[in-house]
Structure 1
Amino acid sequence: MLVHKLKNSGLEHVAIIMDGNGRWAQNQGRPRLFGHQAGARRVREIVESCPELGVKYLTIFAFFD
């Protein structure tokens, strides 16, 4: 449903702020690296989906400590 809305929205620029992947992993009892890898996989999915959705510009801010 969200994909359908985005396809027809005319949206050209998406900005994503990533923060907390390491903390998320630690809360799951996993190493921080697991969270960073999960975040990287999600970024790949988003980047690959942008052309299909008509998104021309993608800005990603990734924070880690």
Structure 2
Amino acid sequence: MVYILIGLFSFAILLLFLTFFKRDKVKDLEEQLEQLSLTMMQENYQMKKRIKILEEELLFHNDELQNTFKK
């Protein structure tokens, strides 16, 4: 009986130590989601910046065309 209790306590302590070294899958998933979110925000910012530049170029060319037709 004593050997069984000692064995069970030993097994419980072993399992306790193993839980500290086990990788947390939820934490890994959260980190991946955060990284994806940051990447998407950066791409969104870059696209908005490019669209703004294109709009400015179109407005500039549109103004040039209007000025040439007025002459």
TM-score by length of 1: 0.34
TM-score by length of 2: 0.32
Between structures 1 and 2, the one with greater helix share: 2
Q: Give 1 or 2: higher strand fraction.
A: 1
Q: Which has the higher contact order (CA 8 A, sep 6+)?
A: 1
Q: Which of the pair has more CA radius of gyration?
A: 2
